[in-house]
Amino acid sequence: MKVLKAIVYHGWALIIISAVAITGYVYEWPIAVLSTIIGIVLIIGLVTAVIGAREKELEKGSQKLRQMAGYFYRRFMGDSSLSIFVIIDSLFKADDHKLWEWARACDMSQRVFNTWCSGFTSRLEVDTKTGRFTIYLRSYLNELWLMTNLYYEFVEQFYEIAQKIALPAETLEQYHRFVVEYNSFAEQFRELIGEMKRVAHTEVEPPSVKLAHEVLTIPLAKEK
């Protein structure tokens, strides 16, 4: 039954053309009439095929976007060791009161981000179940892009501090692990944005997703 449905769905144009050709031959239709009917069927078939291919690409992109949003939330938010906010919290181990003040200021931002990301993934799951996700695909893509761009500002701030001040070795090791995984995510997000720009004509540009920088400063020695 599935094979029959697939043949009908994908090959309906050929079926109709064959039926028209046989009917035209039996009833001796004029060539001009027969050619016109077959041409119209072919055009409709081609348009339908293009629309079907685009819908498949959109569905594929929607699935990737859902996966990337969930991955970002699990790996770079909350209490994950790869969250930039968790890495910033580790600065309390350094003997620098100015760093403590900055880390405390970031704590409120962490709460806002966690609430935002949690709400985002919840809305995404609901719209996926109700079949509305594809309708709001552009909005979700733009929101995830905005989320990662604002998140990157804290990554950049940490990097600038680490370039000027020697930080605990454990903190830098944790940051280096973050850089590797975050940049892998960013590269995949860039690819997805490129695909969505081609299929859905979205406005976001792939290079706008920035990569995290490695810290080259000498860390503080680990406490024995």
More confident residue, 86 or 200: 86
Single out the residue of 59, 56, 111, 64 nearest to residue 85, CA to CA.
Answer: 111
Cα torsion angle, 164, 168, 169, 171, sign: negative
**99-109 pLDDT per residue, tens:** 888 888 888 88
pLDDT, position 5:
45
- Whether the per-residue pLDDT at 12 is higher than 80: the answer is no
**51-104 pLDDT per residue, tens:** 565 667 667 778 888 899 999 999 999 889 999 999 998 888 777 777 888 888
Point out the least confidently predicted range of 66-70, 91-95, 111-115, 167-171: 91-95
- Whether the per-residue pLDDT at 127 is higher than 60: the answer is yes
pLDDT, position 2:
44
Whether the model pTM is above 0.85: no
pLDDT band at 10 (very low <50, low <70, confident <90, very high): low
Return the exposure string of 131-146: e unless at least 16 CB atoms fall within 10 Å of the residue's CB, then b.
eebbeebeebbebbbe
Return the exposure string of 15-53: e unless at least 16 CB atoms fall within 10 Å of the residue's CB, then b.
ebbeebeeebeeeeeeeeebeebbeebeeebeeeeeeee
**179-188 pLDDT per residue, tens:** 999 999 999 9
Average pLDDT of the residues in 193-214: 88
Average pLDDT of the residues in 30-35: 74
Domain boundaries along the sequence of the chain: 2-47, 56-208
Maximum mean pLDDT: which of 24-28, 121-125, 171-175: 171-175
- Whether the per-residue pLDDT at 50 is higher than 60: the answer is no
pLDDT, position 72:
94
In three-state secondary structure terms, 220 is strand
pLDDT, position 6:
43
Q: Are 222 and 161 in contact (CB under 8 A)?
A: no
Return the exposure string of 78-92: e unless at least 16 CB atoms fall within 10 Å of the residue's CB, then b.
eeeebbbbbbbbbbe
Q: What is the DSSP string of 115-155?
A: HHHHHHHHHHHHHHHTT-TTTTHHHHHHHHHHHHHHHHHHH
pLDDT, position 201:
79
